[in-house]
Structure 1
């Protein structure tokens, strides 16, 4: 499993499996955000299955799907609010990781504009 660090406590990557959740837990991740709609891929783990597996590992799971070509401001805002909490380490994923990275970028842009 590859991941890209976008902030000290925010990482993104491609679709994960239940085995990847074990690795994320061992690396100290507290929260996983699923930005991939369940219907996007015909096979693979569902958000419900990953949420159940994450719960057994003590990881909070958030289903915030981003549909390609649609606005994702609400998901970006949720990602920002979560990452701003103390003592969290977040891994967000979608099919390739690009939408998750774009959500973080949008959240950062909105935060910068609000502070200006």
Structure 2
């Protein structure tokens, strides 16, 4: 499992397996967030199976599917409260981890300075320079600044 820490509250990963859930619990994660739609591609594990494993290991489960390459404001509106309310630390996954990282950055830009968010993403191996204008838009709409 390729876990990439964004900050103390959240890490992201490419698609996890049912077996990875036990390792996530052992590592101290308290919530798993699935941002990948079920059956997005043939052969991916069923979300119901990952959810069952999460519950078996005492983890909170959040299924918040987001279409790859098409993150809508409504997706950000659903993800932002998860960052605030879910038991931490959170492990979010999708196909590659990028979708989760973009969701985190767009949601976080509503409350936090953008440049440190871009740096955290880069340190985790995700270049979000292309998302900066949208992060600025989220900041402007939710903090009244850019």
**TM-score relative to the length of structure 2:** 0.72
Q: Name the CA distance, whole Å, in 2 between partners of 1:7 and 1:94.
A: 18
Deviation at 1:75, TM superposition (A): 3.3
- Contact 1:35/1:66 (8 A) holds in 2: yes
- Within a 5 Å distance, the mapping from 1:7-26 to structure 2 comes to 7-26=7-26
Structure 1 residues 7 and 79, CA gap change in structure 2 (3 angstroms): farther
1:106 equivalent to 2:106? Answer: yes
Matches within 5 A, 1:54-93: 54-85=54-85, 88-93=88-93
In structure 1, the residue corresponding to 2:85 is in which secondary structure? coil
CA contact 2:71–2:103 (8 Å) conserved in 1: no
C-alpha separation in 1, matches of 2:86 and 2:67: 29
**Per-residue deviation, 1:111:** 2.2
Answer with 1 or 2: which has the greater Rg: 2
* Cα distance, 1:73 vs structure 2: 2.9
C-alpha spacing 1:105/1:49, structure 2 compared with 1 (3 Å): same
- Show structure 1 runs of 4+ deviating over 4 A: none
Residues 59-82 of structure 1: CA distance to partner in whole angstroms, max 9, x if unpaired? 111111111232333333333322
**CA deviation after TM superposition for structure 1 residue 9, in Å:** 1.1
Distance 1:89 1:32 in 2: 9
Mark the runs of 5 or more structure 2 residues left unpaired by the alignment: 113-138
Kindly state the Cα deviation for residue 2 of structure 1 after the two structures are TM-superposed: 1.1
Q: CA RMSD in A?
A: 1.7
* Aligned counterparts of 1:95 and 1:88: Cα–Cα separation in 2: 22
Instruction: Report the count of equivalent residues.
Output: 116
